[in-house]
């Protein structure tokens, strides 16, 4: 009897240890190396990173039109509860004014905060981990030029157990695998740039893919669209599969990303309207690169869609 009890205790300790090990936040770069990462950084190039990453779409203070006021506060609804987008303006107390490049790198590339806690994947580090360190550095240089905004967003409002950040370690263990996007030499530089923008900075798949019950992208349906997590309707399939955009030319995609006009001259709406404000500011070559890559996505048929106003 005593031996059984001992075995149970030993197993429990091993289990807790394993849980602790799995859920341990692992930043991409040690913070004590921060000085080396600070060097360089170009705010002008960082502006392109900012637009390609669509930072403004979530982080802009709601209810006003200046896309460079990044006071946060926007509510993002999800099946797990509501997220409130943080302030990433350079305010020293309420924003990220005290952040070093290493902090932004760890946030974007590994989903870990300067305090060493996990971020929720509502912040799309699941795509951003493919971003080059140089781009992170340029982005930080650009963010530091923006006006500081005071005021913190309210804390996330999530159901148990999602409100315990440590459990995100399990989610990351299952669904988040860091890795570079090695260029494919058999493809054109334009295609490779497009892939980097779509799969990395642009994080297009985060909205344009269905998710499983744990909120992770279903890889076999990547880019095939799915229900709009934030509300009603469906996010479109952007592959050439059934229900997708096979009949769109590369030019059509560039046009959408520039003016928001679809091939039938309907103006894009919903959250993509915000995205177009970002892509409209990109260099034309980047919009063309995005279109080139999107046209090459493997065809996947749309998943079951729901009615536009249905839940």
Out of 272, 282, 289, 297, the only residue in the binding site for other proteins (CB under 8 A) is 272
Neighbours of 87 (CB within 10 A): 25
CA distance 87 to 70: 6
SS3 21: helix
* Residue 159 beta carbon to other proteins: minimum distance, rounded to whole angstroms: 24
Out of 132, 233, 250, 281, the only residue in the binding site for other proteins (CB under 8 A) is 233
Closest CA to 55 of 88, 12, 92: 88
186 vs 307 by CB, closer to other proteins: 307
Out of 150, 212, 267, 284, the only residue in the binding site for other proteins (CB under 8 A) is 267
Out of 28, 88, 131, 235, the only residue in the binding site for other proteins (CB under 8 A) is 235
* Residue 308 beta carbon to other proteins: minimum distance, rounded to whole angstroms: 4
CA distance 92 to 43: 19
> Which range binds other proteins by CB under 8 A, 92-100, 155-163, 190-198, 229-237?
229-237
Neighbours of 31 (CB within 10 A): 13
Out of 15, 62, 189, 231, the only residue in the binding site for other proteins (CB under 8 A) is 231
Applying CB under 8 A, the site for other proteins has a residue count of 30
**Side-chain half-sphere of 139: how many Cα atoms within 13 Å?**
27
Query: Within positions 245 to 264, which residues make up the interface with other proteins, using CB under 8 A?
Result: 259-261, 264
311 near other proteins, judged by CB under 8 A: no
Closest CA to 96 of 78, 114, 110: 114
Sign of torsion over alpha carbons 127, 133, 138, 139: positive
Neighbours of 33 (CB within 10 A): 11
121 vs 227 by CB, closer to other proteins: 227
115 near other proteins, judged by CB under 8 A: no
271 near other proteins, judged by CB under 8 A: yes
305 near other proteins, judged by CB under 8 A: yes
302 near other proteins, judged by CB under 8 A: yes
Q: In angstroms, how far is the first alpha carbon of the chain from the final one?
A: 54
* Residue 264 beta carbon to other proteins: minimum distance, rounded to whole angstroms: 6
137 vs 287 by CB, closer to other proteins: 287
CA distance 275 to 257: 8
205: DSSP letter:
G
Which residues lie near other proteins (CB under 8 A)? Answer: 225, 228, 231-237, 243, 259-261, 264-274, 276, 302, 305, 307-309
């Amino acid at each position: 009897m005593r031996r059984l009890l001992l075995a149970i205790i030993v197993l429990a300790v091993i289990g807790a240890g394993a849980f602790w090990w799995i859920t341990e936040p692992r930043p991409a770069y040690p913070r004590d190396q921060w000085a080396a990462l600070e060097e360089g950084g170009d705010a002008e190039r960082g502006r392109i990173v900012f637009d390609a990453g669509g930072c403004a779409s979530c982080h802009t203070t709601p209810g006003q039109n200046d896309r460079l006021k990044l006071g946060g506060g926007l509510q993002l609804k999800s099946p797990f509860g509501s997220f409130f987008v943080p302030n990433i303006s350079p305010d020293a107390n309420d924003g990220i004014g005290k952040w070093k490049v290493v902090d932004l790198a760890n946030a974007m590339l590994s989903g870990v905060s300067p305090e060493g806690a996990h971020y929720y994947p509502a912040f799309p580090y699941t795509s951003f981990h493919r971003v080059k360190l140089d781009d992170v550095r340029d982005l930080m240089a650009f963010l530091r030029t923006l006006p500081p905004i005071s005021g913190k967003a309210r804390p996330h409002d999530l159901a148990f157990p999602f409100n315990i950040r440590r459990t995100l370690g399990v989610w990351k263990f299952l669904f988040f695998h860091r890795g570079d996007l090695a260029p494919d030499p058999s493809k054109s530089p334009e295609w490779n740039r497009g892939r980097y923008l779509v799969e990395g900075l642009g994080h297009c798949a985060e909205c344009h893919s269905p998710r499983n019950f744990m909120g992770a992208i279903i890889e076999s349906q990547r880019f095939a669209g799915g229900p709009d997590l934030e509300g009603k309707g469906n996010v479109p399939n952007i592959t050439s599969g059934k229900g997708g955009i096979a009949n769109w030319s590369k030019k059509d995609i560039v046009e959408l990303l520039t003016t928001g006009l679809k091939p039938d001259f309907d103006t894009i709406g919903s959250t993509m309207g915000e995205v177009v404000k970002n892509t409209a500011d990109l260099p034309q070559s980047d919009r063309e690169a995005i279109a080139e890559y999107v046209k090459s996505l493997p065809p996947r048929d749309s998943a079951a869609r729901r009615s536009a106003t249905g839940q």
